[in-house]
A and B are shown apart, each in its own frame.
Chain A
Amino acid sequence: MIPYERTRQQTIPNSAVKIIGVGGAGANMLDRIALDGMEGAELLACNTDVRTLTSSVAPEKIQLGRNLTRGLGAGGDPALGNQAAQEAELEIRDALRDRKIIFICVGLGGGTGSGAAPLLAQLARDEGAFTVVFATTPFNFEGARRREQAENALAELSTLANALITFDNTRMGELVLAKQGVHEAFSAADRMVSESIRAVTRIVMRPGLVNIGLDDLMAALSSPKSRCLFGSGIAHGENRAQQALKNALVSPLLDRGSLLNDTDTVLVHVCGGEDMTLYELELLMRGLSKHVPETAQILFGTSVDPAMAESLSVTLVSSLPEDRLRADFSKNLSAKKAEKVKEPDAEEAEPSEEALSEETGSSEKPAELDSKDDAVADGDSALESSLGSQLDGVEEEPAADQEDAITLESADEEAKFEEVEQDIQLDAGSNIRMRVKELPHPGEPDNEERVPDEVPVLASEEVSDSGFVEAVPSLAETGQSLDLEDDDAFFAETGPAGGPAPIKVESLEEIQASAKAKRPQDELALDGGPKGKFEGEDPNLIEGEDLDIPPFLRKKK
C-alpha cells in the first residue's frame, strides 16, 4: 500500500510498471516497445520457444515449460501453453511482485499466447497489479480453429484483466498502404500497441493539471465483460487540436469514432507543450462531443509536458460491452459472466442502501460513501438506476451548503473512492484547486469537466475563500478515511503542502446547465455561409471548399 502523503500529488514510480510479452507475437511487440524506448518500465519476455526468447531484446526473460516443451514451442496447443506457464508460476510471481501496472502483450490464436496469457493475467491480478492486456487476434485466413482458440482466451482474459485492448490482425491492412511490405504492416501493428502502452502510462504516471489517475482509467473501463476502445493521436502545427483528435479517432480500435457512440464513459487525456491553450482544449472537447453520446460521462484530464514541445496528444479510452461490439459473441461466455456479475451485487446492495439512508439524514461520512461507491461501481445498471434517485439527494445537499465536496466515482472492485482534483498554478502564485465531481451512472446528465467555466470563478478568490476554509476538514477527513479504508487504492490526491486547500464545489444545477450548454450538435453543420439558390443541395465540395459559397465570402475570412 502506498502511504498517504499530503505534500504532493502522487504518481506511480516508474519501477512499478512492467510490460510482459507472451509468445512469439508478444515478443515482437515487446521488441518494438524496447526499440521505441520506454522510460523506466521493465520488460519481460515469456515464451516456450527458446530460440525466439533468446533473440528478444527484453532484459528479463522467463522460459515457460522448461521440462514440458524443452525449449520448443507449444505447437499451437493452448492447453500445452497453459501447462508450460503453470510450470514457471513461481518464477512469474517473483517477477510480478510489487508492480502496480502490468501490461501483457500477446498474440492470441497460438499455443503459448492463448494458453499462458490468461494465467499470467491471473497471477498479475493476484499480485495486486492493475492489469492491461493488449491482445491481437489472428487473421481470418488462419482458419476457424485458431480463431476459436483466440476467442476462448479472449473470453478468459476479459474477466481476468482490468482492461483488455484487442486488435484484429485482419484489420492490419488499414494501417498501411496496400503496396507496403508485410514487414511494415506487422511493425505498424506492433507500433500501435507500443504507442498505446506509452499513452496509458503517460496518463497514469504523469501528474496533470487536471489529473487523471488509475481510478479514472478504471472507471472508463469498468463495465464488466467489455472490450476496450482506445485511440491515441498526436499532431502539431496549426489546427493541432482538431488534427490530434482526428488522428485519435482514426485508430482502428475505434472504428473512426463510430464505436464511441454507444459508450457510457469516455476518458480523454490531453497532453501538450507549454504553449497549449485553453481555447484549444475547448475546441478539442467540442469536437469530441460530436462522437460521444450526450449522456456519457467524460473523464477529462490534461497535463503539460515540456517534452511535447509544440505537439499535442490526445488519448481516448473507453469501453464497450462486448455484446454491443459483436452481438453474436459466444453464448456460454455471457452466461458465465452473468453469474460473475451477480455475486458482488447481491453482497453489496444491502450495505450501500444503509449507507445512503444514513447519509441523506445526517451529515455524511466519507467512509460510508466508500461502501456506497463500491456498490455503484459494479456497473450493474438495474442497481444503479435504483440508486440514482438517492444519489441525487446526496449530491444536492453539499451543493446547497457549499461546504463539503463529495466525489462519486464509478469503478470496479479494485477502484475505491477517489477524488479528482487539480492544481492550477496561476502566475500570481496563488494556489487554487479545482474539484470535479463525477456521478457514476450513465442515466444522469453527466458532469463534465468545466475548465473554461472555472476560470472566471477563480479570478474572484475572495468569494470562494470562505468556502475553501470551511472545506478543509472535510477534505482531510475524506483523504484520511480513504487511506484507512482503501487497501487497494494506489494513490490519493491530496491538497498542497500546508495551508488550507481551497475547494470549489459546483452545484448540481450548475453542472446540469453546463451539460446542457455543451450538448453536442445534432448535425455537423458545414461552416461557410449562405448559398442562395443552391441552398439545400448537396455540398459542392472540391478540395474541402464548398464551391456554392461565394469565394468572396470564403476567402475574406
Chain B
Amino acid sequence: MGKPRIHVGLEIGTTKTVMVVAEVKPDGSVKILGLGETSSAGVRKGEIVDYPQVRACVKAALLKAEDLSDVDISSVFLAVTGPHVEGLNNRGTYRLPEGESEIRSRHVEEVKEIASDIAIPSEHVYLHSLIRHYAVDGQPHATMPTGLMGRKLDAEFHIVHGVRTRVQNSIKCAREIPLDVDDIVFAPIASAQVVLERKWKEAGALVLDIGGGTADYVLYVDGAILASGCIPVGGDHVTNDIHLVTHLPLSKAEQVKKTEGDASGDPEKSEGVVTVADEGGFPDVELKRQILNDVIRMRFQEMLELVRERLPEDGLLRIGKGVFLTGGSSQMEGLGELAQDVFGLPVYKPESPDVSGVHAYIKDPQYSTALGLIRYAQILEEERPNSTALAKASGFLRSLWPFGG
C-alpha cells in the first residue's frame, strides 16, 4: 500500500476544538502523532454562531497540534454536526439492459445514482451517501456485486444531508486558516469508527455520542448504517439545568455535575447533601443530592428517549450487541444505568483513561470523534485504492464550495 500517510481530523465541538494528527502505516496501524485541543467559544449546539472566535480556536488547536506532532498540517477531515443534519434510507433499483447479464461497475454506478436520487430540501446538501446493501435479483449481497450474473440490481443507501449554508460555515472556517478540507464527515459516523469493531457493526449496535451541545447517534445493523441523526441537547444543558434549578453559578454547576452528580436514579446515591465550597469566604452552599440527581437524570432521560423515538420502529430489536456511549458527557456517573433503563439493552460505556500520555486519547470518549475522523480517512483510502481520497473529496467539495480548489 505504499508509504505511510498522515491524516488530520478536526472537530469543532461545542465545548472544545480538537485536532488530531495521526500516521497510518502501510500495515494499517494508526499512530497518533499529536493532538491539539482548545476549549471552544462561539459554538452553540454544534453549530458556529460566532465566526471570529471559532476561527481563533481552530488556529490555536492547529498550532498546538503542529507543535506536538511536528507535522506541517495542510488539510483536514472535518466533522460536522447540528440538528439540521438528518439521515434517511433510500433504495434504488436498476434493471440491466437487454443482452447484458453480467453486472459491471458501470451498472453499479448507475444504481448508486438512482438510489441517491432522493428529494432532499433544496437548501440541503448531501454529506454522505453510504451503501447499505446490494441485492441481485432480490438476493442480498453485502459486498460489491460486480462480476455476478443477474437481471436486476438493487442498492440501499443511507443518505445523510444537512443545510448547505451551515455546512459551508464549518468549511469556510477551516479554509480561512488556511486548511484544505479533504472531506466532511457527520460526527457520529466518525465516532462509530473508533467505538465499534467490525463484528459489532454486523451484530447491530447503537452509538450515542453525547457532547457538550448535541447528542449524535448512529445505528449500525448488519454492518451498515440504518439510522443517524442529531438532537440539540448535550452536557451544556445539564449544567444549565443545574444552574437554573439550584441558582449555583454556571462554573460551580459544571463542577458539581462532574464531581457529585449521578444519573442512575439509585436512591442510595441521592442521600444527603452536597457542600459547595466558596472560595470568596462566603458560607458554603448546601445542595440536596436528591434535587441535583433528579435534574440530571430528567435531562438525560429525555435526551435518550428522544433518540429512542427517532430510531426506526424495529431498530432497537435489531441491535444485537448493545448501546455504546461516547462523547464527553457520557462520562456522567450513572448514565450507563439510565441508558439501560431507557433502551433495555446492554450498555457499553468507555472508561476514563487509566494511563496518561498520547495513547490515553484512544480510550478517552472526549476524543472519539476526532480519532474517528482518522479511522474514517483510513477506511476511505482502503475502499478506494485507485483514486485517492483527496481527489474524491475535492471533487465533492467543489460542488459545495464555489471558491478555491
Chain A interface (Cβ < 8 Å from any Cβ of B)? 529-534, 537, 540, 542-543, 547-548, 550-553, 555
Contacts and interface: CB of A to CB of B under 8 A. Distances in A.
B44 interface: yes
Given A532-B243, A533-B236, 16 more contacts: A532-B250, A533-B250, A540-B83, A542-B231, A542-B306, A548-B237, A550-B240, A550-B241, A550-B245, A550-B295, A550-B298, A551-B241, A551-B299, A552-B294, A552-B299, A555-B298
A532 B298 contact: no
Interface in B73-92: 83
A532 B241 CA distance: 8
Interface in B285-308: 294-295, 298-299, 301-302, 306
B13 interface: no
A553 B245 contact: yes
Interface in B210-262: 231-233, 236-237, 240-241, 243-245, 250
B375 to A, nearest CB: 31
B45 interface: yes
Contacts of B233: 540, 547
A529 B243 CA distance: 13
B244 A553 contact: yes
A534 B240 contact: yes
A552 B295 contact: yes
Contacts of B232: 540, 542, 547
Given A533-B250, A542-B306, A551 B240 contact: no
A553 B298 CA distance: 10
A533 B301 contact: no
A532 B299 contact: no
A105 B302 CA distance: 52
Contacts of B45: 540
B299 A550 contact: yes
Contacts of B298: 550-552, 555
Contacts of A550: 237, 240-241, 244-245, 295, 298-299
Give the interface centre of A531, A542, A551 by most chain B CB atoms within 10 Å. Answer: A551
Interface string B48-79: 00000000000000000000000000000000
A369 to B, nearest CB: 59
A543 B310 CA distance: 11
Residue from A529, A532, A540 whose CB has the most chain B CB atoms within 10 Å: A532
A529 B302 contact: no
A533 B236 CA distance: 9
A193 B244 CA distance: 51
Nearest to B306: A542
Nearest to A551: B298
A552 B244 CA distance: 10
Contact of A552 (B44, B231, B241, B306): B241
Nearest to A529: B244
A550 B245 CA distance: 8
Contacts of B294: 552
B135 to A, nearest CB: 28
A552 B250 contact: no
A163 B265 CA distance: 63
A547 B299 CA distance: 9
28 contacts: A529-B244, A530-B244, A531-B244, A532-B244, A532-B250, A533-B240, A533-B243, A533-B250, A534-B240, A537-B44, A540-B45, A540-B232, A542-B231, A542-B232, A542-B306, A543-B306, A547-B233, A547-B302, A550-B237, A550-B240, A550-B245, A550-B298, A550-B299, A551-B241, A551-B298, A551-B299, A552-B241, A552-B298
A534 B244 CA distance: 11
Contacts of A534: 44, 237, 240
A31 to B, nearest CB: 39
Interface in B25-58: 44-45
Contacts of B243: 532-533
Nearest to A549: B244
A531 B233 CA distance: 13
B307 to A, nearest CB: 11
Contacts of B83: 540
A531 B244 CA distance: 7
Contact of B237 (A530, A547, A553): A547
A230 B370 CA distance: 58
A530 B250 CA distance: 14
The 8 closest A-B pairs by CB, nearest first: A550-B241, A551-B298, A532-B240, A552-B295, A551-B302, A532-B244, A552-B298, A530-B244
B83 to A, nearest CB: 8
A531 B239 CA distance: 11
A547 B302 CA distance: 9
A543 B232 CA distance: 13
A550 B302 CA distance: 10
A528 to B, nearest CB: 11
A531 B250 CA distance: 12
A551 B245 contact: no
A547 B295 CA distance: 13
A210 B306 CA distance: 46
Contacts of A532: 240-241, 243-244, 250
Contacts of B241: 532, 550-552
A212 B231 CA distance: 50
Give the residue among B232, B237, B243, B306 with the most A Cβ atoms within 10 A.
Answer: B237
A29 B231 CA distance: 48
Interface string B312-324: 0000000000000
Contacts of B306: 542-543
B332 to A, nearest CB: 15
Nearest to A547: B233
A534 B83 CA distance: 16
Contacts of A555: 298
Contacts of A547: 231-233, 237, 302
B31 to A, nearest CB: 39
Nearest to B300: A551
Nearest to B298: A551
Contacts of A551: 241, 298-299, 301-302
Nearest to A533: B240
A552 B242 CA distance: 9
A550 to B, nearest CB: 4
A542 B45 CA distance: 14
B244 to A, nearest CB: 5
A530 B240 CA distance: 10
A552 B245 contact: yes
Contacts of B295: 550, 552
A529 B236 CA distance: 17
Contacts of A537: 44
Contacts of B299: 550-552
A552 B241 CA distance: 8
Contacts of A548: 237, 240
Contacts of A542: 231-232, 306
A19 B54 CA distance: 69
A146 B233 CA distance: 55
A88 B223 CA distance: 78
A534 B237 CA distance: 9
Contacts of B250: 532-533
A532 B301 CA distance: 20
A19 to B, nearest CB: 45
Interface in B342-381: none
B166 to A, nearest CB: 13
